Copies of this chain bind each other. A is one copy, B any other.
Amino acid sequence: MTRQIGVTELALRDAHQSLMATRMAIEDMVDACADIDKAGFWSVECWGGATFDSCIRFLNEDPWERLRTFRKLMPNSRLQMLLRGQNLLGYRHYADDVVDHFVDKAAENGMDVFRVFDALNDPRNLERAMAAVHKTGKHAQGTICYTTSPLHTVDWYVQRARQLRDIGAQSLALKDMAALLKPAPAYDIVKAIKAEMPDMQINIHCHATTGVTLVSLMKAIEAGADVVDTAISSMSLGPGHNPTESLQEMLEGTDYAADLDKALLRKVRDHFATVKPKYAQFMSAFTVDTDIFDSQIPGGMISNMESQLKQQGAGDKLREVLAEVPNVRKASGYPPLVTPSSQIVGTQAVFNVLMGKYKVMTGEFADLMLGYYGECIGERNPEVVAIAQAQAKKDPITVRPADLIPPEWSKLVEDASKLDGFDGTDEDVLTYAMFPGVAPGFFSARDDGPTNVGKSAEQLKAEADAASGAANAVRGPIKYKVSFGGREHSVQVEMA
**Residues of A participating in the B interface, judged by any CB pair closer than 8 Å:** 182-185, 188, 210-212, 214-215, 218-219, 233-234, 236-237, 242-243, 245-246, 248-250, 252-254, 262, 266, 287-291, 293-294, 466-467, 469-471, 473-475, 482, 484-485, 489-491
Contact = CB atoms under 8 A, between A and B. Distances in A.
Nearest to A208: B211
Contacts of A248: 290
B250 A215 contact: yes
Given A233-B288, A245-B288, A252-B293, 10 more contacts: A184-B252, A211-B246, A212-B250, A233-B289, A236-B287, A236-B288, A469-B474, A470-B474, A484-B489, A485-B489
Nearest to A263: B294
Contacts of A212: 214, 246, 249-250
26 contacts: A182-B249, A182-B250, A184-B252, A210-B246, A211-B214, A211-B236, A211-B242, A211-B246, A218-B218, A233-B287, A233-B288, A233-B289, A237-B237, A237-B287, A246-B290, A249-B293, A266-B291, A466-B471, A467-B467, A467-B470, A467-B471, A470-B471, A470-B473, A482-B482, A482-B491, A484-B491
B210 A249 contact: yes
A169 to B, nearest CB: 27
Given A211-B246, A243-B290, A254 B469 contact: no
A469 B474 CA distance: 9
A182 B469 contact: no
Contacts of A491: 482, 484
A478 to B, nearest CB: 11
A252 B182 contact: yes
Given A182-B249, A253-B185, A243 B474 contact: no
A318 to B, nearest CB: 15
A257 to B, nearest CB: 11
Contact of A215 (B185, B214, B288, B290): B214
A491 B491 CA distance: 12
Contact of A183 (B185, B218, B266, B469): B218
A475 B287 CA distance: 34
A335 B467 CA distance: 46
A181 to B, nearest CB: 11
Contacts of A470: 467, 470-471, 473-474
A182 B214 CA distance: 13
A325 to B, nearest CB: 18
Nearest to A235: B287
A245 B474 contact: no
B253 A288 contact: no
Contact of A233 (B219, B249, B290, B294): B290
B287 A183 contact: no
A432 to B, nearest CB: 40
A395 to B, nearest CB: 42
Contacts of A288: 233, 236-237, 243, 245-246
A230 B185 CA distance: 23
Contacts of A489: 484-485
A262 B293 CA distance: 11
Please indicate which of the listed interface residues A212, A467, A474, A485 has the most CB atoms of chain B within 10 Å of its own CB.
A212
A236 B211 CA distance: 10
A215 B221 CA distance: 12
Contacts of A289: 233
Given A470-B473, A474-B469, A489-B485, A290 B249 contact: yes
Which 6 pairs across A and B sit closest by C-beta, in order of nearness? A184-B253, A211-B246, A470-B470, A245-B290, A470-B474, A212-B250
Contacts of A182: 249-250, 252-253
A477 to B, nearest CB: 14
Nearest to A482: B491
A167 to B, nearest CB: 30
A183 B254 contact: yes
Please indicate which of the listed interface residues A210, A211, A288 has the most CB atoms of chain B within 10 Å of its own CB.
A211
Contacts of A287: 233-234, 236-237
B484 A262 contact: no
A265 to B, nearest CB: 9
A490 B294 CA distance: 61
Contacts of A473: 470, 473-474
A461 to B, nearest CB: 15
